[in-house]
Structure 1
Amino acid sequence: MALTLVRPTMDLFAAWAEALAEFGGADVHGMGMDASTAPDRASCAALVELAERFADPGAEIPADKVHADHFWMVDDGEVVGFIGLRWELNAYLAHVGGHIGYSVRPSRRRRGHAGAALRMVLDHARERGIGRVMLTCDDDNRGSARTIEGAGGVLGDVIDASDAGHPRLRRYWIEL
């Protein structure tokens, strides 16, 4: 596995569209958009533009959002997943979202992609001067919990997040 993190780009449109289609409308963390979006050139171009804007510290973004870096996990030209680093937490993210969100396409899970990408994004967070990050996962998602714990995540608590439309969530912290 030679996993790299690549900022969203039209150069990988076909690989992105294939990955997105595999999620079948499911929630895709770290991607910066909803998986129910049609994987066409226009939606990919919009995502590329959105990712560039959110990564620009001088850009104006909606009041309910935070600046972030979005990456595609790429292995030998194939987009195998998505990961995002939010530079800070607003009230919603502090409750249920965290600094980092990621998703690996179903056919590429259990191969170490999430752990490798998470380690790379943690290095990126250090470079940004972020001293501590929060990550969340569903309480019953043992794979994601192991991934976060393997990267140094310490369980802070498990909460009922039904008020935010989520199941019980495990909230982890990683000191950088």
Structure 2
Amino acid sequence: MNSPSVLARPDVRFHASWVEAVAEYARDGSQQHGSGLWDFDPLDVRREFFPTIVEHLLRQGDPATVLPGNLVHSSYFWIVDGDEFVGYLALRHALTAWLLEEGGHIGFSVRPSRRRQGWAGRALAASLPEARALGLERVLVTCDEDNEGSRRTIEGGGGVYEDSRKGKRRYWIAVP
């Protein structure tokens, strides 16, 4: 990884700053892309429930975990600055038809107060060795047509624009 404090596996030690980030996302009205929280109410931030969320996310990357037919194994990372939760990054191990069209291998988001500070770009770069470890030679990363920040992040990370489909710009990044 580019920096030891860019990506971390989900961990209960990040609970306090994760709660703050969830509140920021809610106030901002933005999506928590890359969070893997579709099975949970993202506003349920109870400390006693948090280990369940962490364990759920960690299991998603384990090939021995049986997933519903529409899901692929995904390694979830949290973008961190020391002990502060900054955002989410999901690295999907394979592509379904939908992921090929719209979702891609990598999804990410940065909490509103930490945007425009380079976190997404550093996290994207740090995820590429993880993709290589999964045997991926290139990864698909997508963003909404009107998401200028994500477009710049992906292009800055080596993304080569292929096309747009269903309102999503599609980029391929060679994995070093």
Normalising by structure 1, we get a TM-score of: 0.89
Q: Distance in 1 between matches of 2:75 and 2:111?
A: 19
Q: Distance in 1 between matches of 2:49 and 2:32?
A: 15
| Residue of structure 2 in register with 1:164 after alignment | none
Asked if structure 2 preserves the Cα contact closer than 8 Å seen for 1:3 and 1:113, the reply is no
Structure 2 gaps of 5+ residues are none
Deviation of the 1:44 alpha carbon: 2.3
Q: Distance in 2 between matches of 1:145 and 1:38?
A: 31
Q: Distance in 1 between matches of 2:46 and 2:36?
A: 16
| Residue of structure 1 in register with 2:11 after alignment | 9
Q: Distance in 2 between matches of 1:138 and 1:3?
A: 28
Amino acid of the structure 2 residue aligned with 1:41 = R
- 1:3 is paired with a residue whose SS is coil
Q: Distance in 2 between matches of 1:43 and 1:109?
A: 28
| Residue of structure 1 in register with 2:99 after alignment | 93
Structure 1 gaps of 5+ residues are 162-167
Deviation of the 1:46 alpha carbon: 2.5
Structure 2 residue corresponding to 1:138, chosen from 127, 133, 144? 144
Q: Distance in 1 between matches of 2:96 and 2:48?
A: 29
Q: Distance in 1 between matches of 2:5 and 2:151?
A: 21
Any residues of structure 2 matched to 1:68-107 within 5 Å, and which? Answer: 68-107=74-113
Q: 1:53 to 1:2 in 2, by over 3 A?
A: closer
Deviations 1:58-87 (Å, cap 9, x if unpaired)? 111111110011011110311111101000
Amino acid of the structure 2 residue aligned with 1:132 = R
Q: Distance in 2 between matches of 1:56 and 1:43?
A: 21
Deviation of the 1:26 alpha carbon: 3.2
| Residue of structure 1 in register with 2:24 after alignment | 22
Normalising by structure 2, we get a TM-score of: 0.89
- Between 132-141 and 40-49, the greater mean CA deviation after superposition: 40-49
Identity, % of aligned positions = 47
Asked if structure 1 preserves the Cα contact closer than 8 Å seen for 2:13 and 2:83, the reply is no
Structure 2 residue corresponding to 1:38, chosen from 34, 37, 44? 44
Q: Distance in 2 between matches of 1:87 and 1:17?
A: 28
Amino acid of the structure 1 residue aligned with 2:34 = G
Q: 1:2 to 1:175 in 2, by over 3 A?
A: closer
Deviation of the 1:42 alpha carbon: 4.5
Q: Distance in 2 between matches of 1:90 and 1:46?
A: 26
Amino acid of the structure 2 residue aligned with 1:37 = L
Deviation of the 1:36 alpha carbon: 4.0
Q: 1:113 to 1:3 in 2, by over 3 A?
A: farther
